[in-house]
Structure formats: C-alpha cells, structure tokens
C-alpha cells in the first residue's frame, strides 16, 4: 500500500503539521486594535494613538493594549477597560488588518505539500473564528484553539497538544510558529519544534534569541525554503 503524504515524512518538503499563532504571526491585526483603542480614546476626549506606539503590545492581549492606550490608568484598574475593549474590537474585527506579506504563499505551499495546519491563539476563540471566513481560511485551517477553548492557555502546552491531536500529527512532527516568548515556551513544553516569527510584535527590550526557539525567521516568505523549518525538537533524534 502506498504511504500517505502525511505519514511519508521522507518525501515531504515541509513538516507534516504546522500550528501558528494568529496575531503577529499570520495576521497583522494591529490596525484593528488601533481602531479599537482610538475609539475608546475619542469618547474620553483624547487624541488618537499612533500605530507604532500600540503595535509592540498587540501580542500581549487586551489588557496590555488597554494599558498602553491609557498609561495614566492605575494597573489595578486596567482590567475594567477590557470588556469595553473587547466590545469595540468586535465591531472593528477584520476591517483593517490583513495577513502579513508572504503568508498566503507560504500557506499555499504547505497545503500543496500535504501539510496539515492550524491556529493556536490566546485570542478568545469566538473572535478568532469570526476572522477566518473573511481571510478565506475557514475551510483550510484544520484546527482552531483559542485562549478560552481549554482550561489552560499558552504558555501552557495543553493548547498545542490538543491541536496536534486534532490534526492527527504527533507533537514532535509538528512545528509551532509564533512571535512571542510564551509561544516558544509552550512549544518547548509540548515537545514541539518552534519557529520565532521575527516579523511579529515585540517590545524594544524583548530578546528573541533568549527564547531559544529552534529557528528564527525574518519574513514569512523565508518559510518557503524547506531548510528554514526545524524538523524535530533540538536534541531529539529523528
């Protein structure tokens, strides 16, 4: 019997399974977030925030973005802004952001090679799922795990392990791609090779080298090169 592309690892260009973070990795969603915080600032009589000031905080979630947008609000009161942020963001969802340059070509190459891919994000699952149809990913994405899908979220490995099981690929044969340290920490805890997406969102004092991912990639288009992909966790024999 002929072996399927999923199990015949020797003939593949790319890993059998790839899981991605969403914001800052697949999707440049910072413009949606900027529209959200600027609506919040406008109702308080404040001038618009510039994209460059918000962008580094996007991968850290709603609380971090609300704190960046309202630095004068005491840290203990920032959580009170989160429900408003999420409500406004639902109205701005998908209106301004788009996939990073090269993402669509990379996904097409993975699919042509028989790779199964999915998304593991800390964004609430309903918000992430609402984005997929407009991106054309609803029927292409093999699994979507949000920050509230399971009892744990990244950097815990549970979401990655759950997603790998859902697409039928062993964790060691998947690769996780993300732009935040917790992405790489989650992959390491799951026994999954990782790629640091250097095109994503980072604070100035972040040092992605210190995250100790298995590969670091500057642009999505670089992942068209099969050699850019780690095939196993470092130190694990093939």
Helices (H) and strands (E) in the chain, counts: 8, 8
- Give residue-wise pLDDT tens across range 24-79: 999 999 999 999 999 999 999 999 999 999 999 998 889 999 999 999 999 999 99
- Same domain for 120 and 48: no
What is the C-alpha separation between 40 and 168, in angstroms, rounded? 43
- Give residue-wise pLDDT tens across range 65-90: 999 999 999 999 999 999 999 999 99
Which runs of E-coded beta strand occur in the chain?
A: 17-20, 27-28, 98-99, 116-120, 144-145, 174-178, 194-197, 215-217
9 lies in some domain: no
Into how many domains does the chain fold?
Answer: 2
- Same domain for 195 and 124: yes
Q: Do 59 and 42 contact (CB within 8 A), yes or no?
A: no
What is the C-alpha separation between 51 and 221, in angstroms, rounded? 24
21 as an active site residue: the answer is yes
Q: What per-residue confidence (pLDDT) applies to 232? A: 61
Is the pLDDT at 187 greater than 60? The verdict is yes
Residue 28 marked ligand-binding: no
Whole-number percent of the chain with pLDDT over 70: 92
- Same domain for 111 and 223: yes
- Same domain for 160 and 43: no
Q: Which residues partner with 176 through β-bridges?
A: 19, 194
Enclosing domain of residue 65 = 29-92
Q: What six digits make up the tokens of 102?
A: 């090269």
4 lies in some domain: no
Residues 6+ apart with CB under 8 A from 217: 177, 195, 196, 197, 198, 199, 223, 228
What is the C-alpha separation between 99 and 85, in angstroms, rounded? 22
The residue out of 50, 69, 92 marking a domain boundary is 92
Query: Among residues 21, 28, 173, 185, which one is catalytic?
Result: 21
Residue 105 marked ligand-binding: no
Whole-number percent of the chain with pLDDT over 90: 89
């Amino acid at each position: 019997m002929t072996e399927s592309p999923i199990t015949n690892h020797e003939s593949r260009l790319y890993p059998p399974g790839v899981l991605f973070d969403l914001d800052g990795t697949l999707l440049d969603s910072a413009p949606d977030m900027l529209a959200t915080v600027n609506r919040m600032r406008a109702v308080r009589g404040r001038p618009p925030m510039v994209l460059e000031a918000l962008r580094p905080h996007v991968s850290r979630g709603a609380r971090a973005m609300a704190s960046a947008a309202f630095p004068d609000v005491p840290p203990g009161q920032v959580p009170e802004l989160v429900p408003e942020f999420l409500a406004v963001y639902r109205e701005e969802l998908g209106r301004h952001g788009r996939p990073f340059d090269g993402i669509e070509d990379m996904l097409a190459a993975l699919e042509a090679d028989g790779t199964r891919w999915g998304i593991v994000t800390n964004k609430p699952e309903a918000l992430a799922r609402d984005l997929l149809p407009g991106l054309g990913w609803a029927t292409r994405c093999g699994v979507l795990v949000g920050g509230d899908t399971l009892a744990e979220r990244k950097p815990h490995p549970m979401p990655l392990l759950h997603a790998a099981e859902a697409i039928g690929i062993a964790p060691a044969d998947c690769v996780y791609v993300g732009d935040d340290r917790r992405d790489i920490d989650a992959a390491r805890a799951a026994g999954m090779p990782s790629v640091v997406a250097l095109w994503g969102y980072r604070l100035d004092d972040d040092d992605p080298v210190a995250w100790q991912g298995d590969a670091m990639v500057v642009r999505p288009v670089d992942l068209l090169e099969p050699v850019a992909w780690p095939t196993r966790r470092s130190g694990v024999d093939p």
